[in-house]
Chains A and B, each alone.
Chain A
């Protein structure tokens, strides 16, 4: 439609905002705050111990939100950076409308660097198997620490199961996606993984599965609460606070490789719609293409990381076997000093094996999961873009309906049927306002999508950076431990006479 070209987005009305209730973070356009909780994950060393020794999951310090110091080697906290900002969240009304967001121009949106803090930290910990047999499930402790007044308490926790998380996503999707928000996707269902867990939670692959899921659920929640608009959704609050949650039942759609399939299906549906969108703003087209390319790249990276993780696991195995063969060699050896050195060597190699194990876990939990998260997030982004196209289509359709109404009004004028004419006039008024509304919706969703994309990209860079630093830290510690092993072994080797 020619009308859609060269349009300047109208200023959004702050009509729904109550005086004094505006949240500082929602009032300004740039809502990239909460970076600290957005992507904070467990330190890999702890995570890996969670993999190889299930007991450690419960041994973690009770302070789930312990602050991570830069370069700290022993922080086992599962939780999130706490923010020291004391900006309290004033009592507010809960509006699910994003109308309170009011960027005045795109430039301002991008420049805005307001340092509002988010005072919500969440952590997902303590997976516990509930029940027996095939009906069993795993319950996680969801802990929240907040200074926001919209919550009843400052710290509290509830127990949730996986389907609860999926249920939250379902609800958010239904309500929020129409606004163009990127709804963070939850981790995927896994029949295989869960069956193993139902049978028994003790074997290494089950432990790994549960830990992986726990981490993914935590990151999912962190992303939800760090989104200024989603945090306002009462379902989110209910999820965090309410003791007992009604069982989520409509999670069928998210089974299997569900989430991405769903997004792709929706995309296809949009593409098949007859009215092709006439894109006036090439930004969206370009961005979409970029995103698709990037998603492909991420998938390639994911494949390489998977292969790396497998090789590291292989290395654990071969190191262990080698260690045993050296121990045997040491045992058969007559020369005492040589025998001792060989036995020491076997011990060093055992320690190496442990290190390789941790390294593999680190590779996996840091990179593989990071990439998987972002591939899913990019799918969610595509969903946003689709929402915008739908909004445009709705607007176009309403314009065409209005046109038809006007035509029938004209016909009725000629036919001289006064009562029907009245009805026609009423309908025209109604549709005129609809057209206005849908146009406004379209513009608004466009703004939101742009904001979301910018926010996403900033967060992505920060997220990757933070994970990489974690990884480097773990690598550094690894190397330092290796140095101590070799330094201890050297005198033994030299002592062989």
Chain B
């Protein structure tokens, strides 16, 4: 039985930093995520299992908070595209770097999503978050009412609104900048994925070489060939090392900068959507103003009411949006910094380890008769 979402706001009873997606379990075609979080009271840990539908349920709940003023000005933490077992080529492409391997990167991205929502000053207060993290029943089986952010209808209303000139220079600049940046970030994430995939191919080829060398020497036990056999065996080990090195490099890439660029790209899209919502509100506002002006005296008062309501809402949205943008810009710089530092540190460590290994191999060869 699903708990009713009674209260709009609540305080989260878990430590946000302890939220972890520990594992993903394949069950036929479905992926189930195991989420852990520590109770603030220090009395234990919550363990829940959630499918993608549950994550969507959470997102929809947050989207549909009409009662929160200015909610449309919130930059919603982006939920990754739905992952599937044996996903189609289209889905794999959409997933990008998150689609690699056995969903380790994907789990991390889902974890980040939950943490960002929990930590959000407005969104984190929604009871749905508490239910998502603590309820033993998966909440996502219930269909939520249609949210106000139905993207499809928005898209149909008009791309023409996207270019609508802003009344506020701050926002106009932000929109222009976001347009450029969204494209750059997406491209960078895609290019990085290419790099990682090629590295994986190299690792595979090194593995083949190593195996082929071992097969080479299993053939004969000719004493004349002893030297050559020794050489081949050692070379096989060398290529195993090279394979490990390249695999490490690729893994480091994915787990740090890869995730960072992916998140950056999706977050820029989320900001874009927020800015668009506000722009649409602006268009609506300008319409109500015109209507109020043109209104016949009979309707004038009513139109004025509508206009005032629109103005208030737009101001709220812009107010929230400004705060969100400031938060977002600071957060993304911090996030990218962390990603870059971690990336650099991991690659540095891998490079040093590999150098050591190669040196050892080299010494071993020198020592060979």
Contacts and interface: CB of A to CB of B under 8 A. Distances in A.
Contacts of A479: 245, 351-352, 354-355, 358
Given A457-B228, A469-B365, A290 B358 contact: no
Interface stretch (B63-71, B150-158, B198-206): B198-206
A148 B215 CA distance: 43
A312 interface: yes
> Closest 6 CB pairs between A and B?
A461-B227, A479-B355, A496-B337, A486-B348, A493-B340, A322-B191
Contacts of A245: none
A310 to B, nearest CB: 9
Given A301-B216, A479-B354, 10 more contacts: A304-B209, A307-B208, A328-B184, A329-B185, A332-B184, A334-B329, A338-B333, A487-B348, A490-B341, A490-B345
Interface stretch (A82-90, A169-177, A225-233, A313-321): A313-321
B365 A472 contact: yes
A424 to B, nearest CB: 48
Contacts of B194: 318, 321-322
Contacts of B358: 472, 475-476, 479
A307 B205 contact: yes
A497 B184 CA distance: 21
Contacts of B187: 325, 328
Interface in B306-354: 329, 333, 336-337, 340-341, 343-345, 347-348, 351-352, 354
10 contacts: A70-B366, A300-B212, A308-B209, A318-B198, A460-B228, A465-B231, A468-B365, A473-B362, A479-B358, A490-B344
Interface string A442-463: 0000000000011001101110
Contact of B351 (A311, A312, A482): A482
A307 to B, nearest CB: 5
B180 interface: yes
Contacts of B336: 338, 496
Contacts of B366: 70, 469
B144 interface: no
Contacts of A345: 340
Interface of A: 70-71, 110, 290, 293-294, 297-298, 300-301, 304-305, 307-308, 311-312, 314-315, 318-319, 321-322, 324-326, 328-329, 332-335, 338, 341, 345, 453-454, 457-458, 460-462, 464-465, 468-469, 471-473, 475-476, 479-480, 482-483, 486-487, 489-490, 493-494, 496-497
B68 to A, nearest CB: 29
B337 to A, nearest CB: 4
Interface of B: 177, 180-181, 184-185, 187-188, 191-192, 194-195, 198-199, 201-202, 205-206, 208-209, 212-213, 215-216, 219-220, 222, 224-225, 227-228, 230-232, 234-235, 238, 242, 245, 329, 333, 336-337, 340-341, 343-345, 347-348, 351-352, 354-355, 358-359, 361-362, 365-366, 368
B360 to A, nearest CB: 10
A487 to B, nearest CB: 7
A311 B209 CA distance: 13
A465 B177 CA distance: 57
Contacts of A71: 362
A112 to B, nearest CB: 14
Given A304-B209, A479-B351, A490-B344, A318 B368 contact: no
A458 B226 CA distance: 9
B209 A461 contact: no
A411 B361 CA distance: 75
A301 B213 contact: yes
B191 to A, nearest CB: 4
Contacts of B230: 461
Contacts of B340: 341, 345, 493, 496
A332 B201 contact: no
A332 B174 CA distance: 12
Contacts of A314: 198, 201
Contacts of A465: 227, 231, 365, 368
Contacts of A497: 333, 337
A472 B361 contact: yes
Contacts of A304: 205, 208-209, 212
Contact of A468 (B227, B235, B245): B235
Contacts of B225: 290, 457, 461
Q: Which of A110, A332, A334, A479 is packed against the most chain B CB atoms within 10 Å?
A: A479
Nearest to A482: B351
A464 B213 CA distance: 13
B330 to A, nearest CB: 9
